[in-house]
Chains A and B, each alone.
Chain A
Amino acid sequence: MSRSIRCLLSGCLLSIGLAVWSGEGTTYGTGVSAGEKVTIEALIANPDRYVDKLVQVEGIVTDVCPKRGCWMNITSQAGEQTVRIKVDDGVIVFPLDAKGRHARAEGKFSYRKLSKEESISYLQHIAEEKKQPFDPASVTSELTIYTLKGTGAVID
């Protein structure tokens, strides 16, 4: 094999290594920087104040889209308030092993109050996605879904 071909192959392998290495970091998308820092509790206590604003939240990753990594739920340290970080398929991919890790995420905030039927349908969809049993009778209240249209995140 000539020297030039060996150099070309070495360059390709080095580039592949660098590409893979750059994807293994803990910063996803554009990371977090510009958004207004707000606690999840404050966000949920006064959601209208933050609608359509770029905000930054932090907490524990409690769930991740199991197939496409296209969303993750971040729950406050206190544990009861959750915001979903939704990203476009393939643009950012959250790893399933992020569960339980501390994360910061940034994106445009929105929220939606669901009717009882919508709440059942929503939870049923989640259960199907996770292949878990679901009993519609277990839904006793209407849900409100708090979402960041995610632009970036840092997972510790």
Chain B
Amino acid sequence: MFGMQSTDDGDPVVNRRSWRYWFRVIHRDVGYLIAGLTLIYAVSGLAVNHIDDWNPNYSILQEQRTFAPIEDSTRMTEAELSATLGGALDLDATPQRLLRTGPGKAQLFYDGVTVEADLASGVAIVERVSDRPLLRDANFLHLNHPKGVWTYLADLYALTLIGMVITGVFLLRGRQGLRGRGKWLIGVGTALPLVALWLLRWS
């Protein structure tokens, strides 16, 4: 019986032997359980959808700087070159590492900062990299970079979503259910990717 009465937890009183009742219970409680993960996947989905336009994992700031050209860097020790370059670019004089990457070229590595310097022309590109907080972690999980155990948890989540769709479709009956407008809305939702595929790939 569907009516005005409700149980203590707010659910309408329905026949507990009905499959529709159990679909409602599953849909409600599993919905609470996967709310956080669904939010993570959705936000990450938005972020990685636009990967051609921005970097969803890192904030990368680059600036070109000039300094007095260093004509004969081969005679300088690594420490001398690091100190000279670091000082000229307002960076620490002792980078984590310095590499001479070619004639008159050098790379300096600091924590989160990389410098590519053309010593002869006195031009350097200073790149500062930082994580996008939370978003990189969300993408890490969404794109299954950890693999291992997370693969099975993500599989379980996907199967749960399938279960949510099935129980959701049959939750209501009558004009708002599958026999009413439900079938038309499902039709539209299914047609959308099919039309997109037809337009983008098959036509």
Contact = CB atoms under 8 A, between A and B. Distances in A.
Contacts of A96: 57-58, 60, 129
Interface string A44-66: 00000000000000001010001
A16 B62 contact: no
Interface stretch (A17-25, A109-117, A146-154): A17-25
A121 to B, nearest CB: 19
Interface of A: 12, 15-16, 18-20, 22-23, 60, 62, 66-68, 75, 78-80, 82, 90, 93, 96-97, 99-100, 130-133
In the complex, which range does the number of interface residues on chain B fall in? Answer: 20 to 34
Contact of B101 (A16, A80, A133): A80
Contacts of B88: none
A133 B118 CA distance: 14
B23 interface: no
B148 interface: yes
B49 interface: no
B145 interface: yes
A12 B112 CA distance: 33
Contacts of B147: 22-23
Q: Most chain-B Cβ atoms within 10 A of its Cβ — which of A19, A62, A67? A: A19
Given A16-B153, A18-B149, A67-B51, A23 B102 contact: no
Given A90-B145, A100-B110, 7 more contacts: A15-B153, A20-B140, A23-B150, A75-B99, A79-B101, A99-B109, A100-B97
A4 B176 CA distance: 36
